[in-house]
Structure 1
Amino acid sequence: MSVAGPPGPVMDRDEVDRALARLDAEHEAIETSLLALQDHAGRRLLEGAGLTGTTQERWTATERQITLLWAYFDAYAGALRTARDIRARRRWPNRDDLAELTELLRGESVTVAGGAAPAPSSITGPAKLTERFTLSDLVARMNDLYAHSLDMVVAADAVWSALPARIDLLAAELQRTRQLAHSVGVRPGEHPAGDDLERITAELTLLREQVVTDPLAFWQPATGSSAPGGGRPHTERYDREARALEDVRREIDAVLTVRQDAELRLGRLRDVLSRADRTLAEARSARGEVLAKIAASEVPAVSGPPTVLQEQLAMASDYRRHAQWHRLSPLLESLEEKAEDELLRARESLTAVTQPLAVRAELRGRLDAYKAKVARLGHAEDPLLVERYDAARRMLWSAPCDLRVAEQAVLRYQQAAAEVLAPRVPQQGGPTDRRGEA
């Protein structure tokens, strides 16, 4: 190797020995790091995987970086061996030895031939035939290449360590859900949940394939992080399918609940509809009674029970017999709401129909209550009260009863009773009124 002279002042023996000690330590550290990278599980997986997309492009570049790293390391180790050999010639090196060592340790003494590395920022750029480095520049270059290589390997390994296992667990849960769905009749083309399961299955299969072949497409680098592999796998697609599967599972659980409670719920439906029918029958009977006993009163008509609910109830029973739980579930929910509405309608109809009878009963009760009060106060035989009581009673207990006329008769009796029961103050010096005495 022809040199023009050492760069700067010639190093003395102590400076040379300190520099060699430092370079020996760097050599050991670099070798340990390179061997660890060579043995990294992520690198071994990358070498054996059928890669695609971003990962394939970056791994092709990273393989060149790693090959270049070893070439740099060999050149570095060769220069260091040469320096050690020169230093080992004499215990006290002469000036020529020190000048040669200074050139080796501080000058551009290392030549890498046969295609040296471009700058790390353009690792795939055009290569030079040879490059010359100082040992310190070569170490800096190796550090850069190592950081870029390790970052790629660690990122791919992090995705492979996280996502495929989670996808496999979700796929296992998906398989159990599919079996459960099949057992309750939830199938593609027959139920939306069955279609969802097919879509989730296809998406998880595609997602796993893409994660295995292109893990870096699922890597989110950390902003501003300088640590190798700084970042995390992004799991948006996985999370979306996990939520979709959970929604399907809830639907199937609802269907399972229907299967377990179907007979009980059908029994309750029959009971509610039966009570509604009985109430409507009672309303129809009461309407006939009202029309016969109450005159001059508008009585609303009473409709019959809706046949559509009975038809739907029969359909629900048929679904249960044939284990069509996915169809039974929404039908039961609809029927339960409609049956309660029907029972309420029947009760309201009965109340409306019997309203005139309730008014007559209230008038009868009021008339008898006033009569009892009058009798208790000793006026039961009052001719006016007897006359008006009998008139009101005839109207209320005769058929058909005119409620408007009967109410007026009760009011006249109340007014007469009030007059009889009101205290009278006698005029001074005049005769005492007999009602006032009472």
Structure 2
Amino acid sequence: MSREGADHALRARVAERDRISGDLLDLESHTTYQVLKGASLRDATLRRWDDAQGALATLWSLYDAYRGVLRDAETIRAERSRLGGEQLEALTALLSGPSVLLKAATRPVEQRSLLPPVEERLTLDETVLRMDAAFQYATDALTEIDAVWSALLPRVDSADAALAGARELSGRLGEPVDLTRQDAELARLREAVLADPLGAGHVKQELDALVRGLERVRADLEQALAVKDEYGARRENLQAALDRVRAAESEARLAHGAVVVKIALPPQAQPRSVIPELEAELAALDVSAGSWLERSRRLAALERRAEESAARATAAARALHGLLGRRGELRGLLGACQAKAARTGLVEDPDVMRLYEQARLLLWSAPCDLTKAAAAVDHYKRAIHGGGR
């Protein structure tokens, strides 16, 4: 090297050393690195982190030797303001030659040999490449573990919050809820995430299932609290809902009475009242000595049944009235077909007249069989449209 080249190379190496030092300090101050140093790891994560720790031990050994070479180079350069031949030669050897001594690692006795340990000499460039490979291996392991913790630990926190929320609601309700199983499950999953994140692929689904289950418990408790606080008002609303069921059932009975004399109905079309059942359930609820959790479920189920019963009765009345409308549609279609027959000269055709009469008798008889009447109108329609008789 020239004197200028040696000075430039030394300045570059010093800057490189400072940059590497900063990277190593950043690694050691990384939150996940600090957690891993004190964590009780196992299985896949323990093996991966042990390998990473081995890589880091090699890195620090290389870095110490690398830094020692640069200290020697800085000492030589500081001896004189202008480099002499011997100093330049020594500085060149340190900066560009195999100046870094990598001592053989100390091995357990069962892995040793009686032969002298093999040591390596590396250039500064080779040393930096070795350090970079070890650094990348360690940071890859750190990144992989950190990614799993970042994904799973918030879920653990969510489950913990849901469990605490369920306990708080249980206390407010004044009724103990057994959460022993969920507590033990959360402890097991938390330990799995912390001790072996790389082997915790199954934990995400289990945590999500646990949170969903706890949310259901929380919803039940919230509902029970609401029922406990608002039972009087909810009961009044339920009584009003039963009144709506009565009114809807009454409308369905009236519709059935009006329709059954005009339209042939099957026996199952006769409306059946569910009011006695609903009233019996409400009376049983009033005297229930069960927990508020159970009463809230029964009350909610009864409210749903009342709404559904009113809707069914209203739909039944609408459907019954719709049968009269259907009969009117068939009568109108028969009249339109007869007019078409008159225009096409088929109105006097004996077969066409017979089909018309069959349909007319069915539609104007009481009670009317709508299924047979619809088929008769269709036969008449196809006959006058040339579709066969």
Task: Identify the TM-score tier after normalising by the shorter chain.
Answer: 0.5 to 0.7
Distance 1:27 1:78 in 2: 11
Distance 2:319 2:80 in 1: 119
Structure 2 unpaired stretches of 5+? 107-116, 256-269, 321-389
Of 55, 62, 69, which residue of structure 2 is paired with 1:79? 69
SS of residue matched to 2:192: helix
SS of residue matched to 2:40: coil
Distance 1:215 1:109 in 2: 41
The answer (yes or no) to whether the contact 1:184–1:255 under 8 Å persists in 2 is yes
Shift of 1:90: 4.3
The answer (yes or no) to whether the contact 2:66–2:100 under 8 Å persists in 1 is yes
Question: Is 1:26 aligned to residue 8 of structure 2?
Answer: no
The answer (yes or no) to whether the contact 1:13–1:98 under 8 Å persists in 2 is yes
**2:305 is aligned with what amino acid?**
S
Of 297, 302, 305, which residue of structure 2 is paired with 1:334? 305
Within 5 Å, which residues of 2 pair with 1:144-223? 144-157=133-146, 160=149, 163-164=152-153, 167-180=156-169, 200-217=182-199
**1:67 is aligned with what amino acid?**
A
Distance 1:313 1:114 in 2: 85
The answer (yes or no) to whether the contact 2:246–2:275 under 8 Å persists in 1 is no
The answer (yes or no) to whether the contact 1:309–1:339 under 8 Å persists in 2 is no
Q: 1:264 to 1:82 in 2, by over 3 A?
A: same
RMSD: 4.5
Match of 1:125 in 2: none
Match of 1:12 in 2: 2
Question: Is 1:263 aligned to residue 235 of structure 2?
Answer: yes
Match of 2:122 in 1: 133
Question: Is 1:48 aligned to residue 55 of structure 2?
Answer: no
Q: 1:343 to 1:141 in 2, by over 3 A?
A: closer
Within 5 Å, which residues of 2 pair with 1:301-312? 307-312=276-281
Shift of 1:187: 8.1
Distance 2:245 2:66 in 1: 94
Distance 1:348 1:38 in 2: 77
The answer (yes or no) to whether the contact 1:53–1:214 under 8 Å persists in 2 is yes
What is the TM-score normalised by the length of structure 2?
0.59
Shift of 1:339: 6.1
**2:95 is aligned with what amino acid?**
L
The answer (yes or no) to whether the contact 2:169–2:222 under 8 Å persists in 1 is no
Within 5 Å, which residues of 2 pair with 1:23-422? 23-115=13-105, 129-157=118-146, 160=149, 163-164=152-153, 167-180=156-169, 200-217=182-199, 237-255=206-224, 258=227, 259=231, 261-269=233-241, 271-272=243-244, 307-319=276-288, 323=292, 324-338=295-309
Identical pairs, percent: 34
Q: 1:332 to 1:68 in 2, by over 3 A?
A: same
The answer (yes or no) to whether the contact 1:275–1:343 under 8 Å persists in 2 is no
The answer (yes or no) to whether the contact 2:278–2:302 under 8 Å persists in 1 is no
Greater helix fraction, Structure 1 or Structure 2: 2
What is the TM-score normalised by the length of structure 1?
0.53
**1:271 is aligned with what amino acid?**
D
Q: 1:91 to 1:184 in 2, by over 3 A?
A: closer
**1:326 is aligned with what amino acid?**
R
After superposition, give the CA deviation of every residue in 1:296-343 in whole Å (9 maximum; x if it has no partner): xxxxx9999875444333323334886422233223322443466579
Shift of 1:57: 1.3
Distance 1:142 1:280 in 2: 87
The answer (yes or no) to whether the contact 1:272–1:343 under 8 Å persists in 2 is no
SS of residue matched to 2:41: coil
Distance 1:278 1:138 in 2: 94
Q: 1:269 to 1:25 in 2, by over 3 A?
A: closer
Shift of 1:86: 3.5
Shift of 1:254: 4.8
| Matched length | 292
Distance 1:113 1:183 in 2: 67
Shift of 1:76: 0.6
**2:165 is aligned with what amino acid?**
R
Q: 1:15 to 1:261 in 2, by over 3 A?
A: same
Distance 2:319 2:176 in 1: 43
The answer (yes or no) to whether the contact 2:223–2:296 under 8 Å persists in 1 is no
Of 95-104 and 239-248, more deviation after overlay is shown by 239-248
The answer (yes or no) to whether the contact 2:99–2:122 under 8 Å persists in 1 is yes
